[in-house]
């Protein structure tokens, strides 16, 4: 009989907990990140046998390993069917290279894979609670819409999204304000930092304790595990035998990459990951020198979802390689740098190189990439050029957003206007509804108490 997987903290100073507690807490009490205590392992034959299965079935097989005795197979399978109702294309890109497009979800970003699954799991665990959970989130654009979409319609959960009135695009705003139901949106007369300050103050306010406020932050283990499924999916589709594969991952907070590392530990024979960052190169430098220096403030690049100077998942990576990093980025115990260097090929790609890659990939391989996917594609080409990888090696480069989300860059570089994916079409014409408030805590608090007490 297989035992349920338990979760421990990277800071090693909190009790191990089950899936439910790890999900609802987000962060461990010692401020560390939850990690599976044991990584379940598949035989290569089991992975290859998934070849003909639809994505939702592959996700079910992978996630079931972490949900044993906690969520029934029937329920998990139903959730997977419901949240993964879109395509996961593997586009041929010359020789044996492919681009995996993770941009067909409701907000056209790879974050949909994780956010939607986490939304359903948290919804399941809190469905019978007497008082509903209220999830507060501040957004500068994209995270808010992914979270709003993920929890939209989930029973016993209410979402409040704060956004800076003049700092989000019309399209970004409409992705949040046209949902309705359990999603409330508030335009704040202020900047993103004002929104975040209001949310933080509410979380810390003892007078709001009864409201059951919660955050759906990016370090939640519930956002990590679903990100290992597409690595298993891609591998099972693309090979007949147990040959090695390379994945190139455009990285900011390193959650996507950690999903890949988990998939490798589960049995996918990944020979190397390309860790591709933009000019925020603190991790490539760390891998090279063994010395870690966060970048403060982070550098502004066109692949803006990767403008991260201190990745929130780095402590997990260090942990996986036998080291320990605390919540502020101090290395308590050095990881095995030799193994890290063998497993990862890391590159930092400038904006100039990113633009050039968008043009070249279009001309040479017929690929339409946006800035994040172009960083990954550039990194993969660097690995081929290094001579470490034969030109006929099996390789997958990950595309994390739909090119139509970055029309100004694509127009400027390629002279074409990418067609909106179905999920974003027609949004202009939908009815919007949102509140407007000053960046004033007393007013915000009154609102929360009157609406959510």
Ligand X SMILES: *Cc1c(COP(=O)(O)O)cnc(C)c1O
Q: List residues binding ligand X (CB under 6 A).
A: 109, 111, 142, 250-256, 305-306, 372, 400-401
Strands (E) across 12-89 are located at 34-36
- The C-alpha atoms of residue 323 and residue 437 are separated, in whole angstroms, by 46
Minimal distance, residue 388 CB to ligand X, in Å:
23
DSSP state of 220: -
Measured in degrees and rounded to the nearest 5, phi and psi for residue 448 equal: -60, -45
Nearer to ligand X, 20 or 310 (CB): 310
Minimal distance, residue 275 CB to ligand X, in Å:
9
Measured in degrees and rounded to the nearest 5, phi and psi for residue 336 equal: -75, 95
Q: What is the DSSP annotation of 385-397?
A: HHTSS-TTS-EEE
Minimal distance, residue 451 CB to ligand X, in Å:
30
Strands (E) across 75-156 are located at 90-92, 97-101, 133-138
Which helix H or strand E contains 445, and what residues bound it?
Answer: helix 441-452
- Tokens 């994505």 belong to 55
Minimal distance, residue 116 CB to ligand X, in Å:
14
Nearer to ligand X, 77 or 109 (CB): 109
**Cα 43 from chain centroid (whole Å):** 27
Nearer to ligand X, 304 or 324 (CB): 304
Are 162 and 188 a contacting pair, CB within 8 Å? yes
Cross-strand pairs, 160: 136, 184
Nearer to ligand X, 105 or 190 (CB): 105
Task: Provide the 3-class DSSP secondary structure of residue 133.
Answer: strand
Minimal distance, residue 219 CB to ligand X, in Å:
10
Nearer to ligand X, 202 or 258 (CB): 258
Nearer to ligand X, 147 or 393 (CB): 147
Task: Look at residues 113, 76, 314 and name the one whose alpha carbon lies nearest to residue 227.
Answer: 113
- The C-alpha atoms of residue 452 and residue 450 are separated, in whole angstroms, by 6
For residue 317, count other CB atoms closer than 10 A to its CB: 23
Minimal distance, residue 273 CB to ligand X, in Å:
12
Minimal distance, residue 304 CB to ligand X, in Å:
9
Nearer to ligand X, 17 or 83 (CB): 83
Minimal distance, residue 274 CB to ligand X, in Å:
13
Are 292 and 282 a contacting pair, CB within 8 Å? yes
Minimal distance, residue 201 CB to ligand X, in Å:
26
**Cα 88 from chain centroid (whole Å):** 15
Are 319 and 325 a contacting pair, CB within 8 Å? yes
Minimal distance, residue 313 CB to ligand X, in Å:
7
Minimal distance, residue 110 CB to ligand X, in Å:
6
What are 211's two structure tokens?
A: 């409201």
Nearer to ligand X, 133 or 224 (CB): 224
What are 432's two structure tokens?
A: 């919007």
For residue 87, count other CB atoms closer than 10 A to its CB: 12
Buried b (16+ CB within 10 A) or exposed e, 38-74: ebbebeeeebeebeeebbbbbbbbbbbbbbbebbeee
Nearer to ligand X, 91 or 440 (CB): 91
Nearer to ligand X, 190 or 222 (CB): 222
Which helix H or strand E contains 364, and what residues bound it?
Answer: helix 351-365
Which helix H or strand E contains 43, and what residues bound it?
Answer: none
Minimal distance, residue 371 CB to ligand X, in Å:
8
Nearer to ligand X, 124 or 223 (CB): 223
Vertex 204 angle, CA 199 and 205, to 5°? 95
Nearer to ligand X, 50 or 257 (CB): 257
């Amino acid at each position: 009989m297989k035992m349920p997987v338990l979760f421990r903290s990277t800071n090693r100073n909190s009790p191990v907990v089950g899936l439910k507690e790890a999900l609802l807490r987000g962060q461990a009490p010692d401020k560390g990140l939850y990690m599976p205590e044991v990584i379940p392992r598949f035989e290569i034959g089991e992975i290859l046998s998934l070849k003909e299965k639809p994505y939702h079935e592959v996700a079910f097989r992978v996630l079931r390993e972490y949900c044993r005795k906690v969520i029934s197979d029937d329920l998990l399978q139903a959730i997977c069917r419901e949240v993964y109702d879109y395509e996961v294309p593997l586009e041929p890109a010359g020789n044996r290279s492919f681009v995996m497009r993770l941009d067909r979800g409701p907000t056209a970003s790879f974050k949909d894979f994780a956010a939607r699954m986490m939304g359903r799991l948290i919804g399941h665990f809190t469905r019978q609670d007497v008082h509903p959970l209220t999830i507060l989130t501040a957004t500068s654009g994209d995270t808010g819409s992914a979270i709003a979409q993920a929890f939209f319609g989930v029973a016993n959960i209410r979402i409040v999204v704060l956004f800076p009135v003049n700092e989000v695009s019309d399209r970004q705003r409409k992705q949040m304000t046209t949902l309705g139901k359990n999603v409330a949106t508030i335009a704040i007369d202020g900047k993103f930092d004002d929104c975040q300050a209001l949310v933080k103050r509410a979380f810390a306010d003892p007078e709001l304790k009864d409201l059951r406020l919660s955050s759906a932050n990016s370090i939640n283990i519930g956002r990590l595990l679903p990100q290992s499924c597409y690595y298993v999916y891609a591998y099972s589709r693309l090979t007949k035998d147990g040959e090695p594969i390379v994945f190139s991952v455009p990285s900011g907070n390193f959650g996507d990459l950690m999903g890949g590392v988990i998939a490798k530990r589960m049995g996918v024979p990944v020979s190397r990951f390309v860790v591709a960052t933009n000019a925020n190169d603190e991790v490539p430098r760390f891998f090279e020198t063994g010395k870690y220096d966060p970048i403060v403030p982070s550098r502004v690049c066109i692949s803006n979802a990767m403008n991260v100077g201190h990745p929130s998942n780095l402590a997990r990576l260090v942990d996986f390689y036998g080291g320990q990093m605390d919540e502020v980025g101090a290395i308590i115990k050095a990881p095995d740098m030799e193994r890290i260097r063998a497993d990862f090929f890391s590159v930092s790609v400038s904006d100039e190189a990113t633009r050039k890659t968008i043009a070249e990939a279009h001309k040479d391989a017929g690929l339409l990439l946006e800035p994040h996917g172009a960083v990954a594609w550039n990194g993969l080409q660097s690995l081929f050029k290094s001579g470490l990888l034969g030109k006929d090696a099996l390789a997958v480069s990950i595309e994390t957003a739909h090119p139509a989300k970055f029309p100004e860059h694509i127009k400027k570089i390629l002279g074409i206007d990418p067609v909106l994916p179905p999920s974003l079409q027609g949004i202009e014409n939908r009815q919007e509804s949102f509140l407007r408030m000053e960046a004033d805590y007393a007013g915000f608090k009154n609102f929360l108490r009157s609406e959510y007490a």
